[in-house]
């Protein structure tokens, strides 16, 4: 749901960047997208879309 907090379950490389999102990173205030397999969020001030298969509540 919009505004929920989730946790990343796997280290993720960010396309087009040298940034890596580490396993265990908490992502707050997610926003749902039209695609049920993706959520919109902000990590370290960067807006990005994450696949739900790499997240847990």
Q: Which domains, ranges and CATH numbers included, belong to the chain?
A: 6-56 (2.30.30.40)
Name the average pLDDT for the chain: 92
Q: Give the pLDDT score at 2.
A: 83
Q: How far apart are CA 15 and CA 9, in angstroms?
A: 18
What is this structure's pTM? 0.82
Contact 30, 41 (CB under 8 A): yes
Backbone angles phi, psi at 28, to 5 degrees: -100, 155
In sequence order, which residues have a C-beta less than 8 Å from that of residue 16 and are 6 or more positions away?
none
In sequence order, which residues have a C-beta less than 8 Å from that of residue 21 and are 6 or more positions away?
8, 11, 12, 14, 43
Mean pLDDT of 11-15: 93
């Amino acid at each position: 749901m919009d505004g929920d907090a989730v946790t990343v379950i796997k280290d993720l490389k960010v396309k087009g960047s040298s940034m890596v999102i580490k396993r265990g990173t908490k992502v707050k205030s997610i926003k749902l997208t039209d695609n049920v397999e993706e959520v919109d969020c902000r990590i370290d001030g960067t807006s990005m879309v994450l696949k739900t298969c790499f997240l847990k509540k």
